[in-house]
Structure 1
Amino acid sequence: MRIAVCQNKGGSGKTAMVVNLAAALAEAGERVDVADVDPQGNASRRLGARPDADQATISEAIKCDALGAARDAYVECGWGGVYSERIRVLPARFELENRISEAGTVGAVKRLKRAMAGCDDGRTTLLDCPPSLGHLTQLAMVAADAVLIVVEPEFDGIEGAVRVLAFVRDHAEDLNNPRLHVAGVVPSRVRAGLGVHDFQLEGLATCFPRLVWAPHIRERAVIKAAADSVAPLRSLRTLPAREMADDFAQLAARITRLKETVA
C-alpha cells in the first residue's frame, strides 16, 4: 500500500511524521519504503540515506519514464539494525525541482507511478510530499492508494489541510486515480496548554468528519533531536523519546489495519 503524506502548508511536521511512522512500522516487523518527493530531501537525510553525487535518485527515476525505473535507486536506511533491514529509501536531491518543468508534458503526472511499478510489492510505502499541491505532489497522488494529511492545529495549518482534502475530492478523477481518498488527518506539533491549539483541536472533527486520527503528535524537543542526530526516537533512550515512539507506534498500527482492509 502507498500513502502520500501531504499538507499545503510548510512546517507542519509532515516529514517527521513520515520518518517516525517508517521507524514504527519497521519496529513492528513491517517492510517499509520511503519515497522522498520533496526536493529539500529532508526525509532522505533524516533516514541516513542522503544520496552521493553520482547516485540515482527519485528524480532520475521519474525522468526515465519507464516501468520499474526506480528499482536501482532505492537505498537502505542508514540507521542500522532492523531499520536498515526493513526500511528502504527512494532518496531525493534538490535537482528533483527540475521535474516541475515537465508538468505540461502529456502523461508526465504518471511517471512516478510507472517508475515505482513492481518495486514495492508487499511493502508499505510512505511518500513524503512537498508542502504544495503542484506537480510533485500530484506525481505522488497518482502513485498512491491513499492520502494522510498532517495538520498543525492553527488556522493556517487547518486551511492547508482543507485544501488537500478538497483537492483529492475534486481531482482524483483528473489524476486518473479515482479510488484515491483521504484516509486520515493527524494533528501534529500540538502544544499542551496553548489555547489556540486546544480551540482548534476541538473543531477538527467538524472540519474532517470521521477522519481525525489519534493520538495527536505533541511538539517535543526529542523529535528534533532524533532528526538532527539521524537516528530513530527509540535510540535516544529517554522517557520522552519512548513516549513519542509509542505514539507513532499507535499511528503505525492504524496504517497496518488500513492496509489489511485494502488488501
Structure 2
Amino acid sequence: MAQRVALVNNKGGVGKTTTTVRLAEALAKTGKRVLVVDMDPQGNASRRLGWAYNPDDAKATISEAIQADRPGAVASVVQPIGWDVEYASRIILAPARLELENRMSEAGVVGAWRRLAKGLEGADDHVDYTLIDCPPSLFHLTQLALAAADSVVIVTEPEYDSAEAAGRVRDFIAQRAVELANPDLELAGVIVNGMQNLGSHADQLAYIRETFGGLVWDPVVRHRSLIVDADGDEVPLSEVRGDKASEVRATYELLAQTMVKAVPTR
C-alpha cells in the first residue's frame, strides 16, 4: 500500500511541480515505484513527465476519476510516462488537463472532498509512493488531496510571501484535517526551493528554519537554469548535461532519501 504524500503551498511559482517530478524521478532511480497524481488543472506535472493529451485517442484523466465517485476509479486513468529511460517504467501518472477545473463546482456536494481518497482505494496498492501535485490553493482540489494523503510536504521558496503561505498550509492542516476526516494527516517536511546567493534569501531561509525547525529538509534546492531547462524540455535529469548537473541530481536524490526516512513505506 502506497504512502500518499501531497506537495502543497498556498502560493504559486514556488516549485511544487518541479519538486514532485524530480522526487518521483529520484525515488524511481532507487527502485521505488511511484504514482504521480496531477491535481493542478495546468497539467504541468503531466507534461513534464512526457505525457500529452491526444484528442484523436482521448484517454480519461484524474478529472474523470474524481467525477466517477467510486472506489478504485483512479486505476482506470493511470498511464505510463513518456520518458525514455530505464527507471521510467517505475513511474506512472494520473494526468490532468484544464478540465479538472470543473471539479471545483462540486465543492458544495456532500462528501465530494472524499472522491480522490475513494478513487485511490486499491488503485495505488502496487506502488511505494503516491505523490500528489497540488494547485496553489487550499480550496477544493487541494482538499481532495489532503483528504487522501498520509503526509504533506510543503514546498516553498526563501521569500516572504512563499514562507507566509507555507505557514498557512501548516495551520490549515492543524485546524482542518479533522474536518477532512483525516485526523492523522501530518506535516512530514518542508523543502526550500530556488535558493540564490541573496541576503534576503538567507534571511528568509533562517526564518523558515526558525518557524519549522527540524521539519526543514536538507539540502536546500539551489536555483539552477538547467532545472528550468529540463522541465521545459520534458526530460529526466539523467539526460541533462552541464557543470551543475551532477549537483542537481544529487540534491534530489538526497531529498528522496530524506522522504524515505520521514515517510517510510508500509
Q: The residue matched to 1:66 in structure 2 has which SS?
A: coil
Which residue of the other structure, out of 152, 155, 162, is the alignment partner of 2:160?
155
Q: What are the superposed Cα offsets for residues 3-57 of structure 1, whole Å, 9 maximum, x if unpaired?
A: 0000000110111000110110111111111000000000000001233332100
CA distance in 1, matches of 2:75, 2:129: 16
TM-score (norm 1): 0.97
SS of the aligned residue for 2:214 comes to: coil
* RMSD after superposition: 1.1
2:110 aligned residue:
106
C-alpha contact 2:28 2:88 (8 A) present in aligned 1: no
| Paired letter, 1:7 | N
Unaligned runs of 5+ in 2: none
Identity of aligned residues (%): 48
- Residue 38 of structure 1 corresponds to which residue in structure 2? 40
Looking at structure 1, the residues matched to 69 and 88 of structure 2 have their Cα atoms a distance apart, in angstroms, of 28
Cα drift, residue 114 of structure 1:
0.7
**Counterpart in the other structure of 1:67:** 71
The answer to whether residue 187 in structure 2 is matched with residue 185 in structure 1 is no
User: 2:21·2:49 contact (CA, 8 Å) conserved in 1?
Assistant: yes
Counterparts of residues 222-233 of structure 1 (less than 5 Å): 222-233=226-237
- 1:15/1:128 contact within 8 Å kept: yes
Matching residue of 1:23: 25
Give the residue type in structure 1 aligned to 2:139. Answer: G
Residue pair 1:36, 1:129 contacting (<8 A) in 2 also: yes
Check if 1:83 corresponds to 2:87. Answer: yes
- Residue aligned with 2:244, SS: helix
TM-score, scaled to structure 2: 0.96
Structure 1 residue runs without a partner (length 5+)? none
Partner SS state of residue 70, structure 1: helix
Match of 1:55 among 56, 59, 63: 59
1:102-160 per-position Cα deviation (integer Å, ceiling 9, x unaligned): 00000000001111111111421110000000000000001100000011111100010
Amino acid in the other structure paired with 1:27:
K
CA-CA distance at 1:245 after TM superposition: 1.0
For the residues of structure 2 that align with 1:136 and 1:129, how far apart are their CA atoms? 7
Q: Distance in 1 between matches of 2:73 and 2:158?
A: 39
Q: Secondary structure at the match of 1:63?
A: helix
Shift in Å, 1:84: 2.5
Separation in structure 2 between the aligned mates of residue 259 and residue 8 of structure 1, nearest angstrom: 22
What is the alpha-carbon distance in structure 2 between the residues aligned to residue 200 and residue 208 of structure 1? 12
Whether the aligned pair in 2 keeps the contact of 1:51 and 1:92 (CA below 8 Å) is no
- 8 A contact 1:50–1:92 mirrored in 2: no
Deviation (angstroms), 1:257? 1.7
Give yes or no for contact 1:233–1:242 (8 Å, CA) kept in 2.
Answer: no
**Contact 2:4/2:149 (8 A) holds in 1:** yes
- For the residues of structure 2 that align with 1:50 and 1:245, how far apart are their CA atoms? 25
CA–CA distance in structure 1, aligned partners of residues 243 and 132 of structure 2: 29
1:83 Cα offset (Å):
3.3
